[in-house]
Amino acid sequence: MHTETLTYSSTSTEKPFKKTGVLIVNLGTPDSPSVPDVRKYLREFLMDERVIDIPYLNRWLLINLIIAPFRAPKSAKIYRELWTPEGSPLKIYGYSVEEKLQKVLGENYVVKLAMRYQSPSIESGLTELRKKCLSEIIVVPFFPQYASASTGSVYKKVMEVVKDWEVLPEIKFINRFLDHPKFVEGFVNLGKKYMAQREYDHFVFSYHGIPERQITKGDVANYCQFGTCCDTLNAKNQHCYRAQCYETTRLFVKGMGIPEGKYTVAFQSRLGKTPWIKPYTDELIPELAKKGVKSVLAFSPAFVADCLETTIEVGEEYKEIFEKEGGEHWQLVESLNDSDIWIEALEDMVKNA
């Protein structure tokens, strides 16, 4: 009986390896501080059903007939204060992080910056990654705490873009990173820098607010009371944005050694007349001044890059309120931006996704 032995050989010198795409996503910024560009940005942002979660027709009328026409000129004026010769700080820091993260991750990774609203878009970023024959894509929304209106919206947009792809690589999402050691250490080090320069009477941790109804809608365990239920982060409230903000503060306070009673958690940037999560930062500040607080160190831990909500709202507008009420020194702690420790945090998140 004759048998044949089949042998296989390869003359290819190419080494097989797994290549990973990394899509880093921040909220977004107008393309310029002009009124038309700001209006365009506001319309895309606020028409997102996860941002303003009311029926479509009501949302369309509210945004296109009231908010965008009247708010755009005011917002454009503020954006002009924020703008630099190179452009929007949010986008400048974003491209810097893209470049630095690409460098530390190496050739087996492809890093792309995207914005949830405006450019560079999530669709353009994913389209570029699709061309690279990737084994997987890791999506990193730049929101330390999960909220439906931020991280949830990024998830939804990514899935809308890829749903018709014939071939889908494995897709992973970073859900939140409020307790990542490098993220915490980065802000703690910044806080200690200012604490070494002078004494502060009080510390304010101001987070971006969301409507109370969004917390309630996500509370599948019926646990939320908008009060002491946020004193710990546990299985029942682990997805609650408010509880995550309080947990972030506890980690920062512990790292900086701030005593109980010398710090406050508050929420900023509310829109409309419906209840948002409390306390409101702009209402808290006069109360602190009336109690005799003269110096405040303020943090914005819902943001990893400085933007209108940090530099202008917390850094300038709240400072003006504080000084008007008798306060003497208001200092904003900058965001992580493109710092080395933030790149280290991202590298670790990607490699251990």
Domain chopping of the chain, boundaries? 20-176+340-352, 181-332
Q: Average the pLDDT over each of 5-14, 233-242, 312-321 and give the range with the smallest value.
A: 5-14
Same fold for the domain at 20-176+340-352 and the one at 181-332?
yes
Query: Which residues, 6+ apart, have CB-to-CB distance to 74 below 8 Å?
Result: none
Its pTM stands at: 0.93
Lowest mean pLDDT among 16-25, 130-139, 141-150, 340-349: 16-25
- Summarised one tens digit per residue, pLDDT across range 162-172 is 999 999 999 99
pLDDT value of position 15? 54
Percent of residues, the chain, with pLDDT higher than 90: 94
Q: Is 219's pLDDT higher than 70? A: yes
Lookup: tokens for 2: 């004759």
What is residue 4's predicted lDDT score, i.e. its pLDDT? 47
Chain center to CA of 107: 27
Give the model's confidence band at 14: pLDDT under 50 very low, under 70 low, under 90 confident, else very high. Answer: low
pLDDT, tens digit, for every residue of 74-124? 999 999 999 999 999 999 999 999 999 999 999 999 999 999 999 999 999
pLDDT at 112: 98
* 163-199 CB burial, b ≥16 within 10 A, e <16: eeeeeebebebbebbbebebbbebbbebbeebbeeee
Give the residue numbers of the binding site.
208, 309
- Does the pLDDT value for residue 223 go beyond 60? yes
Residue 229 per-residue DSSP state: G
Domain 20-176+340-352 has CATH 3.30.70.2190: no
Count of other CB atoms within 10 angstroms of residue 159: 12
What SS3 state is found at 214? helix
Mean pLDDT score of the chain = 94
pLDDT of 18: 84
Q: Is the pLDDT of residue 10 over 70?
A: no
299 pLDDT band, cuts 50/70/90, is: very high
Residues annotated in the binding site for Fe(2+), as ranges? Answer: 208, 309
pLDDT band at 272 (very low <50, low <70, confident <90, very high): confident
Residue of 172, 167, 118, 164 whose CA lies nearest to 141? 172
Architecture of domain 181-332: 3-Layer(aba) Sandwich (3.40)
In this structure, the strands spanning 136-141 and 329-332 are unpaired
H helices present in 278-332, as ranges: 281-290, 318-324
- Average pLDDT of the residues in 50-67: 96
